[in-house]
Structure 1
Amino acid sequence: MALINTEIKPFAATAFHNGAFVDVSDTDLRGKWSVVFFYPADFTFVCPTELGDLADLYEDFRAIGVEIYSVSTDTHFTHKAWHETSDTIVKVQYPMIGDPTGAITNNFEVMRPGQGLADRATFLIDPDGVIQFMEISSEGVGRNAAELLRKAKAAQYVREHPNEVCPAKWEEGDSTLAPSLDLVGKI
């Protein structure tokens, strides 16, 4: 998996978004920051907690110019049914992409062989369509939207300040580092 700093591959799919079925493609991710958030399946256990966590911080992501897209190998019809029946998923305002053919999941190399399900994987994509961050966790380990928001802010900062880097636990407003020969061995 050498996807960091690679451009996303073309895709086209249907999503459930704001009460309607909408077309979504790789071109929709261009020109803005995006999070593509894969999860195994609708109507499961850890997955709704993660989608709900992202829903709770969705406006914070949008405030910094990041759009969220959730993806599973379920259909957009299943996403609609889940949205209408779950107290947690009803909060979701971002597009829920259906990938029943597995094309998008395979493009991002997170299809579980022989299962037809996506791994629990997160990708942060810059406005040029280049993957800047990825994370994959095991089935039983849920993600943290606040930490993803922190990483999105760090990636945006580094893009805007190419001669600086964000150290561990960096938060917006904290000091950064300017890599140089003088800094080697002094941290």
Structure 2
Amino acid sequence: MLIAQMQSLSILLIIDEFMEHIQITESSLDSSLWSSYSDWKEKIRSLPFEEVDAFREKMIKAIREAEKNRDDVPGNDEITITKNNSVKRVEDLLKSREIEAEELEPANRNYKEVIFNAGNTSEEIFDIEERIKDDIILKELKKRKNDEEEFQQEEVIIDGVKYNYNNSQIPSLYLIGFIGLLIVVGIGFLIYKDNARKRRIY
């Protein structure tokens, strides 16, 4: 089992380095190669040992075809490569931050088209990429804040009346209740002592 895992990892690294070397991104490949999996890396990790080599050959073939198609298209130069790499970085950030493209601002949702229409200089491409990445990070922070607020807010129904309170207030509520209990016990003790004194007098 360990040997199979090591071989799968080795093949994964070989394909990844090959794609990086010839500057081909995952978005340039036919995703049907890894259908039912989130990406080709997950498929390699999930395949039985005896099927890994066959899938590696398919990936290498698909990568070479993508390279040929890229080179055959007029104008596919360094700027296009830069745009493809920019798209991949945005996709990686979306995946790592668990944000869907539909959650972004309208101007950023179709990020591939936005990046490819960004202009013909690296500066213009990187400016657009940074704008989209900032949007992703802001959406993640907003989602995290909303999750925290939902956790903190509680609703309690007493005698048919709804009361909303914050979980952060719970310690202070306990303290107030404890102080109230002490006061009640103190008053009861004073009444008891007063009654005892009266009984001694009479």
Larger radius of gyration: 2
TM range (shorter): under 0.3
Q: Which has the higher strand share?
A: 1
Q: State the TM-score, normalized to the length of structure 1.
A: 0.27
Q: State the TM-score, normalized to the length of structure 2.
A: 0.26
Give the number of the structure with larger relative contact order, counting CA–CA contacts within 8 Å between residues 6 or more apart.
Answer: 1
Q: Which has the higher helix share?
A: 2
